[in-house]
Structure 1
Amino acid sequence: MKIRHVAVATMMLVLAATSFAYADQPGSDWMPADQVIQKLMEKGYTDVSKLEADDGRCWEAKAMLNGVRQKIYLDPRSGEVVGHKPAR
């Protein structure tokens, strides 16, 4: 029984590591993440809890604006907001 638990745990770790290997990566010409966060804060967003490359097309962030949690899409090179919607 314990061997099965170890095998399942090992498989889960391997799958998790594999998913990180295929995670979206920002392009070499993209604005650095810290500058994107700074731009968001300058626009009044707070509590930025997530910033990642979304399908190699844009930065995607989650942050608060006027008390509402938002999912924000940003131009990868300029850091300008190109879309947003309430986050779940």
Structure 2
Amino acid sequence: MHARTLITLLTGSLLLAGNALADRPGSDWISIEDALNKARAAGYTELHKIEADHDGYWEGEGLKQDGRLYEFRIDGKSGQVIREQLED
């Protein structure tokens, strides 16, 4: 019984630690709403995800008008789309 409680406590601690280490946008970045608007302006018709990356950009994926799934990166400060590639 004690081992089960210890495992439960350790698992909970690891989950909380993972959330604390999640990437967050920088204070001088464009907002997530602006990043979504930049992606739409770049031709994305359906966005599936977008998240902050510790390397200084918003990273996401979505469908373009050709109906294919792409991964993209948007510079966190300038809002420029800096990478687009087909998702395998």
Measured after TM superposition, the shift of residue 20 of structure 1 is 1.1
With 6-15 and 38-47 compared, the bigger mean Cα shift is at: 6-15
Q: Name the structure 2 match of 1:35.
A: 34
Runs of 4+ with deviation above 4 angstroms? none
Q: Name the structure 2 match of 1:21.
A: 20
Q: How does the TM-score come out when normalised to structure 1?
A: 0.79
- Which blocks of at least 5 consecutive residues in structure 1 are unaligned? none
- How many residues align structurally? 87
Q: How does the TM-score come out when normalised to structure 2?
A: 0.79
The answer to whether the Cα contact below 8 Å between 2:38 and 2:81 also exists between their aligned partners in 1 is no
- Which blocks of at least 5 consecutive residues in structure 2 are unaligned? none
Q: Name the structure 2 match of 1:75.
A: 75
Q: C-alpha distance in 2, partners of 1:68/1:82?
A: 19
Two-structure CA RMSD over aligned residues (Å) = 2.1
| Identical-residue share of aligned pairs (%) | 30
